[in-house]
Structure 1
Amino acid sequence: MSLSLKHRRLAPSHCSSCRTLSTLSRPYRFHIAASWAGKPPDPRVKRVKSSFPPNSSILKWKDDQLARLHTSTWGTDPGEDFFYVQEMREQSGAYAEADKGVSVGVADGVGGWVDSGVDPSLFSQALMFHAHRYSKHGWAGEPEIDPMQEYEEREQVEGWEMTPKECLELSYDAVLRERAVSAGSSTACLLNLNASSGLLRSANLGDSGFSIIRSSQVFYRQEPQTHFFNCPKQLTKLPRGSRRYSSSAVDAPGDAELYETRLRSGDIVIVYTDGLSDNVFPSELVQICSLVSRQMEGTKSDDEQAQTMANRIVEYAKMCMHNRKRVSPFERAAAKEDMFFRGGKVDDVTVIVALVRETA
């Protein structure tokens, strides 16, 4: 299922419970879809699988999220990855619809913890749960204030802006307090999309990331953040009382790289974990999205186009990661470090696609 979020002009209403809103002349609608595939179990690698308590809010949200957005045919388990798609500022009130946006994010639990008996997926799931929880009550951008309004009215919309960096900081602190997560670490990439202005803001820590495709070209691509090859920057929760873990992979939300830009109608925003970027080149993403657009334009809705793009990107990544004869981005990166690696890298892959449309 894809999620369509829109910002529209509101006409004057005769309903006594409605209020007329003044909005920007160029609002945007985001058609959002998610797709994912967990890597197959490797008998040579130790696997630790656990879950949150049955009464946990995280567990219920996780199951609801997967059921609501699941459309693929290769299973419902995203492995050590997780994600969220959250409409922002859902509170009722005169200005809620006018400044509503959407927040999305992906997280990739670092697998090195399995040797300590820790399930890496719990950290990424908890991080995305709290990111959804905090972004739900924030503005996607600074709300517009009419200086002629009474102070009490202005107070309702001031002070609620939630940037991706702030959301990441709050979410990480919440995971540190989460008793069900004893230890672990994860990369994270969070984005806010403002429906009123088209402003995209991001905070990225590690080797997850996003790309913006504009006019069949890569307009922007988030570069990975690493300590060294194949060791991404990551948010970490150390076991209580532990001293044997290196601090080289213990990073803070403040280390995240920030970016912002104005989106245009027709832009395609693709958010992903490294299961995609290690196996699929940016030019191939452009080709997949262009092919879907040509095949479905005029016959399918924007929601269906976004979902088809997400599904085909994941399907192609799965095919590439099992191909040992094809040169992959990961193979090229390894060669630059004088390391030998051939073909694709088998990993979990999670993709969120946002198709941007300007409303009339």
Structure 2
Amino acid sequence: MSELYLLKAIRSIQNFMYYAHAKSNRKKQKSLHRISVNKGCTLFPYLLCLSHEDRYEELQMIYSLSHHEYFIELWLHPETEFIIKSKDSTLLHPEYPTKLNTSKELVNFIESPTLKHFNMICTIITPLNHQKFNLEFTSNCKTIPKIPEQNEDAYFLTSKTIGIADGVGGIFYDFGISSKDFSHELMQKCKSIVSEEKDVISCKEVIKKAYNSVSNGGSSTYLLASLKKNRLYVSNLGDCGLLLFRYSDGSRKLVFQTSAKQYNFNTPFQISKEFNKKQLCSRSVSYSMSGNLMNSKDIDSDEYCITVYPGDILVVGTDGVLDNVYTEEIQKIVKLFPKASVEDLSNKILFLAKKRSQGKENTPFQDRMKEANQPWVGGKPDDITVIVSVVR
């Protein structure tokens, strides 16, 4: 009996010590992490290298025979940076976000507040060079038309390329023919080309090939963004826009934004193609202009190339978004990631743009109208489409 009481007493003391230790660490805003790497039975040393507040230390990871993995459990401060070193490589942990440290090296870091709990998870670690040069998008798109069944916005998503187009609404008033069919077919052709093309081609070449194979006539702005290794290539014609956010100094900040390409205010550059016979026969109002739409002789788009990293967030939108929502408001929504999913972010941006387009609150469009000395109050009703993509 005495041995039983002694065992109970020891366990009570151990539980109390653990409780006191945990309470002390939580007061210091630390969280318990179990960082693991599954490498089968390959028994060679793994080191967890920590960097926090000018302190650097290397800790030996423990090998678990039962789980065939290396692991370590420890209490860590938010913003602690870490990498895992093996005999001949440096590894990143796929379950933690990444950022560039002061030496411009890609490292993992502990988020604040911590959202991840690791309970005996066997995780396969991906080498750093694989992470850096084989990036992909995790994307979600939301769209809502100004007029039901008449959405002139179009888009496509793949793991490496995203595209968005905005059919020019003024074409309907000039010719009585919507640009909906043109913008939608243009994006469908782009998706087919990037899915089937074996050799890497530029976004501009994708648009040219798609344009040449489109049968419907009309006019549209567009933006294409494509990942090649750790580079993001962007082709933009008109007033669609792309914003790139990156985690830095404790929050996600805007690091890049495309510029609208316009002839003058509210008149964007666009790609156009003459109407086919079927479209001309079905037009609902007479011409207010003589002749027909002319084919675009050249695609005078803006081309960009940006280095991206895992964890970067792209927000791509038509002018229905960018005319109604300020950049600072989009940034505030993006900061909700990863607690909010990619779908949550796109929904929040869409609903905010829709609300502003129908209201009397200040908007970017109102500001630009004021600069042009034209009276306007509130938002601009329009088709609204937003894509949110996370680089993985």
Alignment TM class, shorter chain as reference = 0.5 to 0.7
Quick check: 1:35–1:350 contact (8 Å CA) kept in 2? yes
Secondary structure of the 2:193 match is helix
Secondary structure of the 1:128 match is helix
Per the alignment, residue 340 of structure 1 pairs with 375
Establish whether residue 168 from structure 1 lines up as the match of residue 207 from structure 2: yes
Pick aligned residue for 2:193 from 121, 134, 137: 134
List, as ranges, runs of 4+ consecutive aligned residues in structure 1 with deviation greater than 2 Å: 22-30, 238-247, 249-254
Secondary structure of the 2:299 match is helix
Relative to 1, partners in 2 of residues 1:127 and 1:220: Cα closer, same or farther, differing over 3 Å? Answer: same
Unaligned 5+ segments in structure 2 are 1-39, 41-126, 278-286
Letter in structure 2 aligned against 1:343: G
Q: Distance in 2 between matches of 1:104 and 1:329?
A: 25
Q: Which has the higher strand share?
A: 2
Quick check: 2:151–2:383 contact (8 Å CA) kept in 1? yes
Unaligned 5+ segments in structure 1 are 1-10, 12-21, 42-76, 88-101, 140-159, 297-304
Q: Distance in 2 between matches of 1:280 and 1:228?
A: 21
Per the alignment, residue 315 of structure 1 pairs with 351
Q: CA RMSD in A?
A: 2.6
Relative to 1, partners in 2 of residues 1:165 and 1:319: Cα closer, same or farther, differing over 3 Å? Answer: same
Q: Distance in 2 between matches of 1:246 and 1:335?
A: 34
TM-score normalized with structure 2 length: 0.59
Matches within 5 A, 1:122-201: 122-138=181-197, 160-175=199-214, 178=215, 181=216, 183-194=217-228, 197-201=229-233
Establish whether residue 114 from structure 1 lines up as the match of residue 177 from structure 2: no
Pick aligned residue for 1:260 from 299, 305, 310: 305
Q: Distance in 2 between matches of 1:334 and 1:250?
A: 30
Quick check: 1:168–1:253 contact (8 Å CA) kept in 2? no
Per the alignment, residue 25 of structure 1 pairs with 130
Establish whether residue 82 from structure 1 lines up as the match of residue 154 from structure 2: yes
Q: Distance in 1 between matches of 2:391 and 2:150?
A: 25
Q: Distance in 2 between matches of 1:192 and 1:314?
A: 23
Return the structure number with greater relative CO, CA threshold 8 A, min gap 6. 1
Relative to 1, partners in 2 of residues 1:322 and 1:292: Cα closer, same or farther, differing over 3 Å? Answer: farther
TM-score normalized with structure 1 length: 0.64
Relative to 1, partners in 2 of residues 1:253 and 1:85: Cα closer, same or farther, differing over 3 Å? Answer: farther
Letter in structure 2 aligned against 1:83: Y
Superposition deviation, residue 172 in structure 1: 1.2
| Higher Cα radius of gyration | 2
Of all paired residues, the percent bearing the same amino acid is: 28
Superposition deviation, residue 228 in structure 1: 1.4
Superposition deviation, residue 221 in structure 1: 0.9
Relative to 1, partners in 2 of residues 1:261 and 1:289: Cα closer, same or farther, differing over 3 Å? Answer: same
Pick aligned residue for 1:238 from 265, 274, 285: 274
Quick check: 1:28–1:356 contact (8 Å CA) kept in 2? yes
Superposition deviation, residue 288 in structure 1: 0.6
Relative to 1, partners in 2 of residues 1:356 and 1:253: Cα closer, same or farther, differing over 3 Å? Answer: farther
Aligned residues between the structures: 250
